[in-house]
DNA sequence: CGCTACATTGATGATTGTCAACAAGTGTGG
DNA sequence: CCACACTTGTTGACAATCATCAATGTAGCG
């Protein structure tokens, strides 16, 4: 289905390739930025074991990424949303290590990895982008490992809520009222908890007046209390990250003034 | 001390740089491979918050890497040993996110990141090496996250023992008898357990006859039983990784036949 | 409307953390 | 050489957190 749509778009890279230089400093990424793929609710963008060929950048929608161990257990490792890069896990071995499944009818940019490599080789900015995407994934993992090994259930859920809030805020939506896309089970898997524990703690937070819950509709009422529960400082800002999407949802690159080889 | 030694070696990159082409297919990496740094027992190779300038490859010794969260809690994220790459966590932000501390009197290769970047830009192999080092870190993290969120204490310890065994084997040492370098507390931190739990389970495995423990001296007696405890399949081999050190402990690169730009 | 997936809540127990005491090993200084 | 402090490791008793099992409620969807 949408796999067919993707194929149809993949069939015309040459056509996209001959749009040559763009003069502005911030330019849409070409030709890769032209390739898009729609992913329908519940559909798998790529699966573990499949050969790795392209990276993706989420344009709209929310996904879950699943890491599965040899013995067959599965864990949600993240909830990629607009602006996040997908597929990095395949770079090492050439085989995807994760499943990525869409919660919504989503749309992603398709970045054939061969082009990414060339872009990285030819431009300092491309190199930096790719490398940072990888490194950020590492620090993200470390943060999550800390949560999984040290934080208590109450903290985990509070951190999850604050994290989602912050991500929605960055996407220009409300930070205090949003609809979660994922089930309690997926949240639990992500946080290393059982779904019942997640449900109980959400109810608990609601009784305390910190949040309001109605199924997947969440309203954060008392950020200070949530920060207190989370055991973190409210000002524990991650270093600022240059967004990969412009406000219109287009893939952008910042051309380097000092980069003579940047001629894509 | 060892910082001084490193500085003295850093002072002569030009001298090393003019050794031109090596004819063999496997060549020592130059000039970066010439730079080494000694790290003494208990010394910090680099610390979180320090500016990132170089990558390291462990030549001899065993380290622990520590991730610390904003609220001050610390977790051991790994036990880097010979052949492992250190410092990748600094690439994203330019600031190290981890502390890395040596258990032994160790020695590392110093790879100034500017040179790594150039190497990556100029050679396909360099690019691949760097990217794979990053991506491998990601899959390693995912594996560990699975362990932290799903495995029970018994499984974690069994997995830890089998993992250490496999790593010693790859370094050419015995896979069934080795001396751990780290304390029970560090093992516990790494596995998301209390030190008492680690100690108890080691004792338990010994009573069952799976292993023999004498402080940090470990002998694995029944691999099959350990695999059973671990809940994993014995054949769950990670895809083979080209080693970064040759048997003599020198840093090596494999020259690409198909890489015209590989002229370092 | 009924099926199905998802969510909530309660009761119970297992796993593991916490606290505490003690043993063994190591290094230091008198 | 011994006494001493200090770190590390072991083991036990107990408590707390969270998983498990089970029942019920609710919302979406053909």
* A189 vs B contacts (CB less than 8 Å): 149
pLDDT band (50, 70, 90) for residue A237: low
Output the CA–CA distances (angstroms, integers) from residue A116 to A94, A175, B97, in the order listed.
14, 33, 26
Give CA–CA dist A142/A136, Å, rounded.
10
Q: What is the pLDDT of residues A180-226, one digit of tens each?
A: 999 999 999 999 999 999 999 999 999 999 999 999 999 999 999 99
- Residue A238, pLDDT score: 62
B185 touches strand D (CB under 7 A): yes
Give CA–CA dist B103/A59, Å, rounded.
46
| Token code pair at residue B95 | 């600031």
Interface test with A, best of B146, B188, B192 (most A CBs within 10 A): B146
Give the nucleotide at minimum CA-to-C1' distance from A151: D17
- Residue B189, pLDDT score: 97
- Residue A135, pLDDT score: 79
Output the CA–CA distances (angstroms, integers) from residue B168 to A119, B6, B23, B163, B175, in the order listed.
39, 28, 32, 9, 6
Q: What is the pLDDT of residues A10-62, one digit of tens each?
A: 444 444 444 444 444 455 555 555 789 999 999 999 999 999 999 999 999 99
Q: Is the CB of A71 less than 8 angstroms away from the CB of B232?
A: yes
Q: Is the CB of B138 less than 8 angstroms away from the CB of A137?
A: yes
Q: How far is the CA of B231 from the C1' of D16 (A)?
A: 27
| Overall average pLDDT of the A157-174 stretch | 96
For residue B202, the distance in angstroms to the closest alpha carbon of chain A comes to 20
Give CA–CA dist B226/A146, Å, rounded.
26
Give CA–CA dist B1/A108, Å, rounded.
52
* A97 vs B contacts (CB less than 8 Å): 139, 142
- Residue B233, pLDDT score: 82
- Residue A47, pLDDT score: 95
B203 touches strand D (CB under 7 A): yes
pLDDT at A156 over 70: yes
- Residue A120, pLDDT score: 82
A216 touches strand C (CB under 7 A): yes
* B95 vs A contacts (CB less than 8 Å): 239
DSSP string, B61-88: -BEEEEEE-TTS-EEEEE--BTT-EE-G
Give CA–CA dist A163/A223, Å, rounded.
12
Closest chain A residue to the Cα of B78, Cα to Cα? A142
Q: Which residues contact A83 (CB under 8 A, 6 or more apart)?
A: A57, A58, A170, A171, A243, A244, A245
- Residue B30, pLDDT score: 56
Q: Is A20 on the interface with B (CB under 8 A)?
A: no
3-state secondary structure of B248: coil
Q: How far is the CA of A182 from the C1' of C11 (A)?
A: 28
Paired strand residues for B81: B62
| Token code pair at residue B70 | 């904003």
Q: Higher-confidence residue: A100 or A70?
A: A100
Q: Is B260 on the interface with A (CB under 8 A)?
A: no
Paired strand residues for B74: B68
| Kind and range of the H or E run holding A187 | helix A184-191
DSSP 8-class letter at B264: -
Of B118, B136, B157, nearest to B241 (Cα)?
Answer: B136
Give the nucleotide at minimum CA-to-C1' distance from B215: D9
- Residue B119, pLDDT score: 87
| Kind and range of the H or E run holding B158 | helix B153-170
- Residue B29, pLDDT score: 55
Q: Is the CB of B149 less than 8 angstroms away from the CB of A92?
A: no
pLDDT at A249 over 50: yes
Q: How far is the CA of B215 from the C1' of C22 (A)?
A: 16
pLDDT at A234 over 90: no
pTM over cut 0.75: yes
Q: Is the CB of A73 less than 8 angstroms away from the CB of B239?
A: no
Q: Is A163 on the interface with B (CB under 8 A)?
A: no
Give CA–CA dist B93/A140, Å, rounded.
12
Q: Is B144 on the interface with A (CB under 8 A)?
A: yes
Q: What is the pLDDT of residues A73-118, one digit of tens each?
A: 899 999 999 999 999 988 878 899 999 999 999 999 999 999 988 8
Backbone angles phi, psi at B224, to 5 degrees: -60, -45
Q: Counting beta carbons within 10 angstroms of the beta carbon of residue A2, is it exposed (0 to 12), middle (13 to 18) or buried (19 or more)?
A: middle
Give me the helix-helix angle, A184-191 and A195-208, nearest 10°: 100
A194 touches strand D (CB under 7 A): yes
Q: Is A72 on the interface with B (CB under 8 A)?
A: no
pLDDT tens for chain B, 264 residues long, are 333 333 334 444 444 444 444 444 455 555 555 789 999 999 999 999 999 999 999 999 999 999 987 777 899 999 999 999 999 988 878 899 999 999 999 999 999 999 988 888 888 888 888 878 887 888 889 889 999 998 999 999 999 999 999 999 999 999 999 999 999 999 999 999 999 999 999 999 999 999 999 999 999 999 999 999 998 888 666 666 778 888 888 887 655 444 444 444
Closest Cβ–Cβ partner in B95, B137, B231 for A71: B231
Q: Which of A's residues 131-190 have CB atoms within 7 A of nucleic strand C?
A: 183-185
| Token code pair at residue B5 | 């030694």
Chain D bases closer than 7 angstroms to a protein Cβ: 8-13, 17-22, 27
- Alpha carbon B25 to its chain's center: 25
Give CA–CA dist A121/A159, Å, rounded.
38
Q: Is B77 on the interface with A (CB under 8 A)?
A: yes
pLDDT at A3 over 50: no
């Amino acid at each position: 289905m949408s796999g067919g749509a993707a194929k149809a778009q993949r069939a015309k890279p040459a056509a996209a390739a001959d749009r040559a230089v763009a003069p502005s400093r911030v330019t849409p990424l070409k030709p890769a930025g032209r390739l898009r793929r729609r992913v329908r609710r519940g559909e798998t963008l790529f699966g573990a074991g499949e050969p790795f060929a392209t990276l993706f950048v989420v344009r709209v929608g929310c996904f879950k990424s699943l890491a599965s161990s040899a013995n067959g257990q599965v864990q949600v490792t993240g909830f990629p949303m607009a602006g996040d890069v997908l597929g990095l896990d395949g770079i090492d071995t050439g085989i995807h290590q994760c499943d990525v499944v869409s919660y919504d009818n989503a749309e992603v940019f398709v970045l054939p990895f061969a082009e990414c490599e060339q872009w990285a080789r030819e431009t300092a900015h491309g190199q930096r982008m790719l490398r940072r995407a990888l490194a950020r994934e590492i620090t993200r993992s470390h943060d999550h490992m800390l949560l999984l090994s040290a934080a208590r259930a109450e903290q985990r859920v509070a951190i999850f809520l604050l994290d989602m809030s912050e991500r929605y805020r960055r996407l220009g939506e409300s930070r205090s009222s949003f609809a979660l896309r994922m089930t309690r089970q997926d949240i639990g898997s992500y946080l290393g908890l059982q779904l019942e524990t997640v449900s109980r703690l959400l109810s608990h937070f609601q009784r305390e007046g910190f949040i309001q819950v109605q199924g997947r509709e969440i309203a954060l009422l008392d950020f200070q209390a949530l920060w207190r529960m989370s055991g973190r400082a409210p000002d524990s800002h991650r270093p600022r990250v240059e967004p990969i999407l412009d406000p219109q949802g287009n893939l952008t690159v910042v051309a380097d003034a000092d980069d003579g080889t940047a001629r894509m």
